[in-house]
């Protein structure tokens, strides 16, 4: 059951991205943002939630550069994976595009860069602000 719910919620999340909207689930009881989407709030265990629009703007908290491909889906190296804290307080992972190796910094401001990812699925990544 939870797998089916998870797939449905992922589809909803990606449908918002396809329309250029960045939305995340927020608990209706305690207002906790919960990415990844879930059927229950990890803070208060409420099952009530709604999709809330967020700005897509944030700050890089941490990152790593991959210089070797460890996965056939990621053939262009180097590439980065960053932990971004959005202005609303929710933390998400994504690539920061439009940067050369060594140009990414903790504390750097970024904005949403929605585009196609693996197998053409729409993904939330970022670019420098």
Local structure of 77: helix, strand or coil: coil
Domain ranges in the chain are 1-53, 55-129
CA–CA gap between residue 94 and residue 18 (Å, rounded): 16
Identify the CATH number of the domain defined by range 55-129. Answer: 2.40.50.840
Q: What confidence tens digit (pLDDT) does each residue in 28-58 have?
A: 999 999 888 888 999 999 999 999 999 999 9
pLDDT of 5 over the 70 cut = no
Residue 6: predicted pLDDT = 58
Q: Exposure pattern of 54-71 as b/e (b: 16+ CB <10 Å)?
A: bebbbbbeebeeeeeeee
What's the chain's average pLDDT?
A: 90
Q: What confidence tens digit (pLDDT) does each residue in 53-84 have?
A: 999 999 999 999 999 988 877 778 999 999 99
The sign one gets for the Cα dihedral 82, 23, 15, 115 is: negative
Whole-prediction pTM: 0.88
């Amino acid at each position: 059951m939870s797998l089916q719910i998870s797939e449905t919620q992922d589809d909803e999340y990606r449908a918002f991205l396809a329309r250029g909207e960045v939305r995340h689930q927020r608990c209706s009881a305690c207002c906790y943002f919960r990415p990844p989407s879930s059927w229950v709030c990890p803070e208060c265990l409420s099952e009530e939630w709604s999709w809330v629009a967020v700005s897509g703007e944030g700050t890089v908290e941490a990152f790593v550069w991959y210089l070797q491909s460890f996965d056939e889906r990621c053939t262009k190296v180097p590439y980065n994976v960053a932990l971004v804290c959005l202005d609303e307080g929710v933390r998400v992972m994504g690539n920061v595009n439009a940067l050369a190796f060594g140009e990414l910094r903790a504390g750097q401001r970024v904005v949403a860069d929605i585009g196609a990812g693996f197998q053409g699925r729409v993904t939330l990544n970022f670019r420098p602000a």
